[in-house]
């Protein structure tokens, strides 16, 4: 019996993982890895941190856990994988089961036979058709070369200001990197909030408010019309529909597009990305695909989605490597789980945003609960804000978003596991989460958020979203009852036209001071007293009472 011939196209994340897994499952298989670029198996998500000099050595993004650099020689000596570095796959012949490859530098052509083929061609930066897009000083961020070139440009050209077009994950992480270099940074985004694919606008506003305190500048709902170029052919700024922004460097980070032309030419089924099944097979059972070039399934909605992420690419690579060597592994889909750290804050999300859930027809309900990330009496506690999105009909949690200076990632991972099994608000409230004062609270943030959600669903809690609260501050028809202490009020006053200061401990005795002919909004720092205040006034005969979702600590008041 002849050796199993496996050809893998793409050498960044999914491809090398598939190749390595295949060799572990079938050591006698003949595996060839093709990569048209200059590097293989590098941590692309680490590039912004190299750009910002957090990662000092570029090779650190290409090393194993024991600090061996992944080179073609390493792949051969350690894994017995043949690597064609600097070679591009140009044609797949499905009838003959061959792949035509061409060396980028010389144009030399080879034809490689395969029994099983893996397409892991990834995605390319979207380059909008815009005047000045090819000027010197305009960059994208995809490969190690991009990071090296940008870093060198900053040093050599003495760049003082940068514009980032696009407020997604890559753009925002690079914005922090530019700030670390001392640059004046402006982020321009067409949509109405930052991280628009990760956070709903409310949570984006909270994070933006923090980042503005770190001296980042934002222009939202803004369209870039052209990139301005000086007489030397170098970028000098951008023209937007709201005016000109000067800059000596521009990063275009407006998303990626899956690289699928090879699959299209081969007649494989494609819909934006390559269509695969749960085994990562394409429409040709001998051709598998994974990573940023494929479509996958959202576990919550069941809808086909495009969700490029390095973690997904690695998981799919392992599934592919198992299955092309006779295994039966599956990849059920994704939850669009994402985390990000900028300066001293983090954000995370998993599942559906409220925006997407509404588009899909869900009757959504939300709960926003701030709180400390460990027990409140322990030193070192830091705040986080948790936002749950649920389906009112089934009570299932559809998604969660968390922002703040406290620990975000473990809670997002917990929710990713819970959402994978269709958790309801009632079930989430009673998950046996760990507790120790230095690490967590007896009533964990997720538990509290689930209970707030249950109270809202059951008609016990009547909350008001921040946007509505902010819009009514000047209203003659609303009275705002501040439940905070006098000291707390001095720390963060609110610009409400009609407000009463009645600390929560005094509200029962002083309820008659609250007018009954106006809408009543009660609030505190984190909303822990808000619900209590609503119940106290309800019991005193007030029907038109709401508390501010999430309190006022995080919200950008007056904006």
Instruction: Return the active site residues.
Output: 45
What is the spatial distance between Cα 550 and Cα 202, in angstroms, rounded to a whole number?
11
Contact 181, 154 (CB under 8 A): yes
DSSP for 274-320, written as a single string: E---TT-B-SSTTEEE-STTB-EEBTTT--EE----HHHHHHHHHHH
- 49-54 long-range contacts, CB within 8 A, separation 24+: 49/173, 49/177, 50/144, 50/147, 50/151, 51/141, 51/147, 51/150, 51/151, 51/174, 51/177, 51/178, 52/174, 52/176, 52/177, 52/178, 52/180, 52/181, 53/151, 53/177, 53/180, 53/181, 54/177, 54/180
Contact 525, 510 (CB under 8 A): no
Q: In what order do the strands lie in the sheet with 463-464?
A: 463-464, 545-548, 519-523, 478-482, 499-501
What is the spatial distance between Cα 177 and Cα 213, in angstroms, rounded to a whole number?
16
Contact 389, 549 (CB under 8 A): no
For the chain, report the end-to-end CA distance as a whole number of angstroms.
71
SS (H, E, C) 344-409: CEEEEEEECCHHHHHHCCCCEEEEEEEEECCCCCCCCCCEEEEEEEEECCCCEEEEEEEEECCCCH
What residues contact 125, with CB distance under 8 A and at least 6 apart? 140, 141, 142, 252, 253, 255, 256, 257
């Amino acid at each position: 019996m002849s050796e199993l011939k496996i050809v893998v196209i793409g050498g960044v994340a999914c491809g090398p993982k598939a190749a390595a897994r295949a060799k572990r499952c079938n050591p006698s298989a003949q595996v060839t890895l093709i990569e048209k670029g200059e590097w293989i198996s590098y941590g692309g998500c680490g590039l912004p941190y190299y750009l910002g000099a957090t990662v000092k050595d570029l090779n650190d993004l290409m090393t194993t856990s024991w600090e061996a650099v992944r080179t073609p020689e390493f792949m051969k000596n350690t894994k017995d994988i043949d690597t064609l570095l600097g070679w591009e796959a140009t044609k797949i012949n499905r009838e003959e089961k061959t792949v035509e490859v061409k060396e980028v530098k010389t144009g030399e052509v080879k034809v490689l036979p395969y029994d099983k083929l893996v397409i892991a061609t990834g995605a390319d930066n979207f380059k909008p058709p815009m005047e000045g897009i090819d000027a010197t000083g305009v960059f994208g961020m995809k490969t190690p070369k991009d990071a090296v070139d940008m870093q060198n440009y900053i040093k050599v050209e003495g760049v003082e200001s940068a514009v980032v077009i696009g407020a997604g994950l890559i753009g925002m992480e690079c914005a922090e990197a530019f700030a670390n270099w001392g640059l004046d940074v402006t982020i321009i985004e067409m949509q109405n909030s930052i991280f628009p694919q990760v956070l709903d606008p409310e949570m984006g506003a909270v994070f933006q408010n923090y980042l503005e305190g770190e001296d980042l500048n934002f222009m939202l709902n803004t369209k870039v019309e052209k990139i301005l170029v000086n007489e030397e052919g170098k970028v000098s700024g951008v023209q937007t529909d709201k005016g000109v922004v000067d800059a000596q460097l521009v990063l275009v980070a407006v998303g990626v597009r899956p690289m699928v032309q090879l699959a299209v030419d081969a007649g494989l089924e494609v819909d934006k990305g390559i269509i695969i099944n749960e085994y990562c097979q394409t429409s040709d059972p001998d051709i598998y695909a994974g990573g940023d070039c494929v479509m996958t399934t959202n576990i919550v909605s069941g809808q086909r989605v495009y969700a490029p992420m390095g973690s997904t690419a690695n998981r799919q690579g392992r599934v592919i490597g198992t299955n092309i060597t006779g295994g039966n592994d599956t990849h059920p889909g994704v939850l669009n789980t994402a985390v990000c750290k900028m300066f001293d804050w983090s954000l995370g999300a998993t599942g559906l945003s409220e925006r997407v859930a509404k588009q899909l027809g869900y009757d959504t309900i939300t709960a926003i609960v701030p709180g400390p990330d460990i027990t409140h009496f322990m030193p070192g506690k830091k705040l986080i804000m948790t936002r749950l999105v649920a389906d009112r009909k089934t009570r299932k949690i559809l998604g969660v978003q968390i922002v703040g200076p406290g620990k975000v990632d473990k809670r997002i991972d917990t929710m990713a596991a819970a959402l994978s099994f269709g958790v309801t608000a009632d079930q989430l409230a009673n998950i046996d989460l760990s507790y120790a004062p230095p690490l967590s609270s007896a009533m964990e943030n997720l538990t509290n958020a689930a209970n707030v959600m249950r109270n809202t669903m059951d008609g016990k809690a009547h909350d008001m979203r921040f946007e509505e609260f902010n819009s009514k501050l000047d209203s003659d028809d609303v009275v705002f009852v501040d439940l905070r202490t006098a000291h707390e009020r001095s720390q963060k006053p609110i610009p409400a036209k009609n407000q009463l200061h009645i600390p929560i401990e005094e509200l029962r005795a002083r309820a008659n001071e609250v007018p009954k002919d106006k809408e009543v909004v009660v609030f505190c720092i984190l909303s822990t007293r808000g619900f209590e205040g609503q119940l106290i006034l309800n019991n005193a005969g007030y029907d038109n009472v709401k508390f501010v979702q999430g309190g006022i600590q995080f919200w950008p008041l007056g904006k």
